[in-house]
Chains A and B, each alone.
Chain A
Amino acid sequence: MSPAIDARGISKRFGSGIAVDRLSLSVAPNEIFGLVGPDGAGKTTTMRMLAGVMRPDEGSIVIDGVDVVKNPDLAKAHFSYMPQRFGLYEDLTVDENIRFYADLFSIPARQREDRAARLLAASDMARFRGRLAGQLSGGMKQKLGLTCALIHTPKIVLLDEPTTGVDPVSRRDFWRILYDLREEGVTIVISTAYLDEAERCHRLALLHEGRLLQCDTPQALKARMPGAILLVASKQPRAARAVIAPLAGVTSTLLVGDNVRVTVDDAARRLPQIAKALAESGVPFEPPHLAPTTIEDLFVTLEKPLGAAA
């Protein structure tokens, strides 16, 4: 099957800085593909280039068989793009905003009514159809933006950080809509700075400073993380950390709430050593246990050699 999106060696420079550096990625039809990285990683620039609103300095982009760099206008019929700040009309109601976008995309009246009703129900927004967009909370605005962006039925949607500033409850509604779309056969590219959210995607591209660090499924990425993570709960986490940090085989320690998160080279070997050191120190602790690796753990190990931390 030919990819839904095929970007090869795309770069974008702004002045002397490089925002995106020879990035290549291929998105399969009907997957939820995540562009993941911190602010400044190049997510938005990449999205803009994919959407054909910004020309790459070099490289090629093909979406659904159409060359976006050469024919941006032709390509636009094949996808829907929701930029970070979606253009809602604050002095129009929810319904009026939807109608406006439906007109823009020339959606027949019957179809738009069905679709709007479904999208609003899925995002728990049906009660607010008469409310002015300017009076919606941040999360509701984002959901309305998504509804407007999806009022036509695209094969591919590009969503640039749609959940920034959105609380977990609304975020779940949001993801529910994305999985519904996927059920309809839509391909979804979504960018996020939240690494925990990344786990909801089928495949991830981890971006840092404009470059692609890794690209794979969340499970495969996490499996690549060297070493293991041990969690040590303690009533005195700071004291526990001071005992653990200098021990052999401990790569890093992190205080997370009432736990110390310890990265070790070899869990089986280090676990008893850590327990012994803590017992001898008199610091209270719960028996250490193995914790699942997160995308953030992997990101930290990948990012370190790039010299981000002084």
Chain B
Amino acid sequence: MSAAADSGLAIVARHLTKRFKAFTAVDGVDFEVRRGEILGFIGPNGAGKSTIIRMLCGLLRPSAGQILIAGIDVAKRPEAARQRIGYMSQKFSLYADLSVAENLRFFGGIYRVPKDKLAERMAYAVAMAGLAGREDDLVSTLAGGWKQRLALGCAILHNPPILFLDEPTSGVDPVSRRRFWDLIHDLAASGVAILVTTHYMDEAEYCDLIMLINQGRIVASGSPTELKHTPLGGRMLLVECESIGRALHLLTGAKGVRDVAAFGDALHVLTDPDGETSIRALLAAGGIAKVDISPIEPGLEDVFVNLVARPAAAAPTP
């Protein structure tokens, strides 16, 4: 293992930039992922997440900046760097009409797992996925949770020190999802560095560290708890009243109200520090008198939405 990997740094990105003609997709991004760390990239569609991943994998050449994967300079030795990476995307990675064992053998070939190691690695993957005895079953007959764990098994057949997960658990049943994250934490505990890309906040919650990416830049980073405590420049209030739809309209774009979202029979409102009084006044003026207001802790989604700059045009016309 190289010096950089020994130093604990699995991924180093320095001033990473990618321009497509006049458009800057990734704009001077710096980050590091240590061994055993689970880093989550979150950001809206088109924020630059997949462009960064493509550059990390050596599939796209950066316009500027440098990437080290397990100490290897990706620009100089892309093949060697790729060998250190396992990649799993829940949706696309398996062959449905091949068996469990055939899929593993196939990925063993792609990742060039040495012949004398393959049997041992396949046995490990099968045991981890809970698929012992089902090696000859077609993947198309497996339920979602097993497919997902098999996809993980395929991605780590070559024992990579770095693992990329692209929305790994979206749509999977909750029991399987929790089991999956247990496996990921075990891998992290054994020293694997894990990079998760997602725009589902409940997936991001599982990461040790989150980086919020918007318009090609890192706009916030920290542990999930730290991010939830990001100052949003106001207070999050839970507003319970009748006619939620109308209340939503009355408050959207109103003075002192920064953001409103409806949740069933309640609203989450981000307001200026003295917002409670103005909310009551706005609602009363609209004929909604009975209003319960209580402060709540913002969720990751609230933070995300409010840190991602929104154009002022977002307010609907009534």
| Chain B 304-318 interface mask (CB, 8 Å, partner A; 1/0) | 110010110110110
Residues of A within 8 Å of B172, CB to CB, are 38-39
- A168-B304 Cα distance, complex, nearest whole Å: 8
Which of A194, A218, A219, A259 contacts B200 (CB under 8 A)?
Answer: A194
Q: Give the segment of A102-110, A270-278, A297-305 that binds chain B.
A: A297-305
Residues of B within 8 Å of A140, CB to CB, are 45
- A129-B157 Cα distance, complex, nearest whole Å: 47
CB of A173 within 8 A of CB of B179, answer no
CB of A39 within 8 A of CB of B144, answer yes
Residues of B within 8 Å of A182, CB to CB, are 245
- A299-B207 Cα distance, complex, nearest whole Å: 22
Q: Give the segment of B15-23, B25-33, B56-64, B256-264 that binds chain A.
A: B256-264
Q: Give the segment of B72-80, B181-189, B274-282 that binds chain A.
A: B181-189
Residues of chain B in range 255-273 having any CB-CB distance to chain A below 8 Å: 261-265
- A199-B305 Cα distance, complex, nearest whole Å: 17
Residues of A within 8 Å of B252, CB to CB, are 176
Which of A201, A254, A259, A310 contacts B264 (CB under 8 A)?
Answer: A201
Which of A124, A179, A238, A309 contacts B314 (CB under 8 A)?
Answer: A124
> Contacts A168-B305, A256-B205; is A202 near B175 (CB within 8 Å)?
no
- A202-B170 Cα distance, complex, nearest whole Å: 23
CB of B264 within 8 A of CB of A217, answer yes
Residues of A within 8 Å of B248, CB to CB, are 176, 179-180
Residues of B within 8 Å of A138, CB to CB, are 45
- A254-B185 Cα distance, complex, nearest whole Å: 10
- A117-B313 Cα distance, complex, nearest whole Å: 13
Smallest CB gap from B262: residue in A: A179
- A296-B200 Cα distance, complex, nearest whole Å: 14
| Chain B 220-248 interface mask (CB, 8 Å, partner A; 1/0) | 00011100000000000000000111101
- A84-B234 Cα distance, complex, nearest whole Å: 37
| Chain B 114-150 interface mask (CB, 8 Å, partner A; 1/0) | 0000000000000000100000000000011100000
Residues of B within 8 Å of A85, CB to CB, are none
Residues of B within 8 Å of A208, CB to CB, are 173
A127 close to B (CB within 8 Å): yes
CB of A303 within 8 A of CB of B264, answer no
- A279-B5 Cα distance, complex, nearest whole Å: 34
Smallest CB gap from A173: residue in B: B314
CB of B199 within 8 A of CB of A168, answer yes
> Contacts A176-B248, A200-B263; is A38 near B171 (CB within 8 Å)?
yes
CB of A308 within 8 A of CB of B246, answer no
CB of A180 within 8 A of CB of B175, answer no
Of B208, B264, B313, most A-chain CB atoms within 10 Å: B264
Tell me the minimal C-beta distance from B267 to chain A in angstroms: 9
CB of A254 within 8 A of CB of B244, answer no
Residues of B within 8 Å of A170, CB to CB, are 44-45
- A124-B201 Cα distance, complex, nearest whole Å: 22
A243 close to B (CB within 8 Å): no
CB of B224 within 8 A of CB of A168, answer no
Residues of A within 8 Å of B261, CB to CB, are 172, 175-176
A132 close to B (CB within 8 Å): no
Tell me the minimal C-beta distance from A210 to chain B in angstroms: 12
CB of B313 within 8 A of CB of A169, answer no
CB of A304 within 8 A of CB of B317, answer no
- A166-B45 Cα distance, complex, nearest whole Å: 7
Smallest CB gap from A198: residue in B: B264
- A66-B73 Cα distance, complex, nearest whole Å: 66
B176 close to A (CB within 8 Å): yes
Tell me the minimal C-beta distance from B262 to chain A in angstroms: 5
- A126-B317 Cα distance, complex, nearest whole Å: 12
Residues of A within 8 Å of B145, CB to CB, are 308-309
A258 close to B (CB within 8 Å): yes
CB of A38 within 8 A of CB of B305, answer no
| Chain B 141-179 interface mask (CB, 8 Å, partner A; 1/0) | 001110000000000000000000000001111111011
CB of B181 within 8 A of CB of A255, answer yes
Residues of A within 8 Å of B207, CB to CB, are 257
CB of B44 within 8 A of CB of A257, answer no
A195 close to B (CB within 8 Å): yes
Tell me the minimal C-beta distance from B304 to chain A in angstroms: 5
Given A194-B202, A257-B208, 7 new contacts (CB under 8 A): A124-B313, A139-B45, A165-B45, A180-B248, A180-B249, A193-B171, A200-B262
9 cross-chain pairs, A with B, having the tightest CB-CB distances, nearest first: A183-B245, A38-B173, A257-B224, A167-B44, A122-B316, A39-B171, A193-B171, A310-B130, A137-B45
Q: What would be 15 A-B contacts, judged by CB atoms less than 8 Å apart?
A: A32-B264, A118-B317, A139-B45, A168-B201, A175-B262, A196-B301, A200-B264, A238-B185, A257-B205, A257-B207, A257-B225, A296-B202, A308-B145, A309-B145, A310-B130
